[in-house]
Amino acid sequence: IKATDKAVWVGTEQAVYKYDKQRRTWRLFTTEDGLLDNTVQAILPAGDYVWFGTPKGLTRFYWNAPYRID
């Protein structure tokens, strides 16, 4: 679990969940959104991006336009 001023990120074995503090809503991210693996072992918010460590490598997400970094 990692928190920023705007969001809380929760990594699980099935997905990543983002809680938007302003809107008070949850959003689910999976491999269908660009994660290399649904098991998320590490989370690092970095400015407009969030890095996710998975068993298959790193994924870098931009808040509204996720894409994969090999």
- Identify the domain containing residue 8 by its residue range: 2-68
Separation between Cα atoms, residue 24 and residue 42, nearest integer Å: 23
Classified as helix, coil or strand, 38 is: coil
How confident is the model over 23-69, as pLDDT tens digits? 999 999 999 988 999 999 999 999 888 999 999 999 998 865 655 55
Overall number of domains in the chain? 1
pTM: 0.84
Residue 6: pLDDT over 60: yes
Q: What is the pLDDT of residue 8?
A: 95
Locate tokens 């649904």: which residue?
38
Nearest 5°: phi and psi at 65? -140, 75
The CATH number for 61's domain is 2.40.10
Instruction: Give the DSSP H/E element, type plus range, for residue 26.
Output: strand 25-29
The CA dihedral of 27, 46, 12, 34, to the nearest 10 degrees, is: 70
Helix (H) or strand (E) holding 9: strand 7-11
